[in-house]
Structure 1
Amino acid sequence: MWSWLKMSFTGALEVLMEMRNQDVKFTIDTYVLAFAICYKLNSPESFKICTTLREEALLKGEILSRRASCFAVALALNQNEVAKAMSIFSQIMNPESITCTNLNIILHIQLNMLENVIEILKNATEGNLSKYVKRQMFSEEVLAKVREKVKDVPALLAKFDELYGKLHVSGQVTTYSLDAVLCHIPGGRKSHMFLLNKRMVSRRTFQPLGQSLLAE
């Protein structure tokens, strides 16, 4: 199954790189799609492509959406490029989303800033918990990673367990994984992958992926 998906993602990325090589202007959604594919491929090669596309976009003054940036951050984290992930995250203009909230936790975990993680969770439980106010949501998967990191520090573990209970009581924990949150398609929008696959039917002459960008 993954082999088939990987071929599909690679083929889609080849289409995007051919568009880039022919100077086709990328839209905001095109960057989201490109970064999402790179994130799904999760390889040193796709990380290099994502980084290059992002740097080129910034040099051109292109606008990169929060969602595109989140995929870039997640990919950098998966490739253990924590400094790069932090740099990208710091440039997100409005990091107040469930995806950003959980990526921020993962960033702090990988930087071993555990006290800061506890402080973030504490602030989330002490904020305005009115049902009319949007609250920070945390992935159960991400919270499990926090617990794993603090389990050998009794003081932090005790505090985490207390905050974990409060978050559950206030309905601020979701069973969705970080990957599911990242890849959620907002309602009312067509799947970019579906549209891209339709275009790929008549395109069979692209150069291998490595020749399109990595050879530069």
Structure 2
Amino acid sequence: TWSWLKMSFTGALEVLIEMKNQDVKFSKDTYVLAFAICYKLNSPESFKICTTLREEALLKGEILSRRASCFAVALALNQNELAKAVSIFSQIVNPESIACANLNVIIHIQSNALENLIETLTNAAEGNLSKFVKRHMFSEEVLAKVREKVKDVPALVAKFDEIYGKLHVSGQVTNYSLDAVLCYTPRDKKSHTLLLNKRMVSRRTFRPLSQSLLAE
């Protein structure tokens, strides 16, 4: 159940925060885990923790991975922190991934930048057709949000329906949700997932979140 998972994520986050409070250096993968947990908890508090961790890392000159940044962007969007989401997304050095492509669409939706959104999807569907160029993939769930957003603008609906058909024909639509895309773990990262699961079960609490990172 979600309540059990929430408790597990909270326990895992407390472990990571205690590590940070004890000046344990985070690796790139540790930041991915921390931001992923904050994203899953999806609360104002977890957003503050994610933001604090990210800002501290940048101040220290640490380079955060694209995947970690994607979790931070997604969390900001879920918390209706559009300006923060746009700021983080703009700092992703190479946003050429399925997660970035879909987050960019959500940013356009929340920004009400519908003309630019349709143009972005058009470029993805009708751009360079070389088989050697990696095409952007879009989640069916995200595209459904686009259609819902433009449904009251006949001209944009017509354009979207045309683009939607082209994206399907070219195999650029996936049934995976945005959440599934974000949380997909490559084979060589399974060890980190197992480690996180172990921490969730065997190590629960050190001190309340409000007394740890955010209190400093």
TM-score by length of 1: 0.96
- Please state how far the C-alpha of 1:194 moved relative to its aligned partner: 2.2
Answer whether contact 2:15 2:206 (CA < 8 A) is retained.
yes
Q: Give deviations 1:144-202, integer Å, cap 9, x for gaps.
A: 00000000000000000011011111111111110000000012222424213434666
Q: How many residues align?
A: 216
Change (3 A) 1:204 1:48: closer
| SS of aligned partner of 2:93 | coil
- Please state how far the C-alpha of 1:90 moved relative to its aligned partner: 0.2
2:52 aligned with 1:26:
no
Which letter maps to 1:123?
N
Answer whether contact 2:102 2:138 (CA < 8 A) is retained.
yes
Which protein, 1 or 2, shows the higher relative CO under an 8 Å CA cutoff with sep ≥ 6?
2
Tell me which residue corresponds to 2:39. 39
Distance 1:200 1:142 in 2: 30
Distance 1:175 1:202 in 2: 34
- Please state how far the C-alpha of 1:203 moved relative to its aligned partner: 4.4
Distance 2:84 2:175 in 1: 28
Tell me which residue corresponds to 1:89. 89
- The runs of 5 or more residues in structure 2 that have no matched partner are none
- Please state how far the C-alpha of 1:215 moved relative to its aligned partner: 2.5
| SS of aligned partner of 1:188 | helix
- The runs of 5 or more residues in structure 1 that have no matched partner are none
2:63 aligned with 1:63:
yes
Distance 2:51 2:163 in 1: 36
Which letter maps to 2:98?
I
Which letter maps to 1:129?
L
Tell me which residue corresponds to 1:7. 7
2:208 aligned with 1:211:
no
Change (3 A) 1:185 1:61: same
- Please state how far the C-alpha of 1:210 moved relative to its aligned partner: 1.6
What root-mean-square deviation, in Å, do the aligned CA atoms of Structure 1 and Structure 2 show?
Answer: 1.4
Answer whether contact 1:185 1:191 (CA < 8 A) is retained.
no
Distance 2:56 2:94 in 1: 22
Distance 1:36 1:204 in 2: 17
Change (3 A) 1:215 1:122: same
Distance 2:43 2:171 in 1: 35
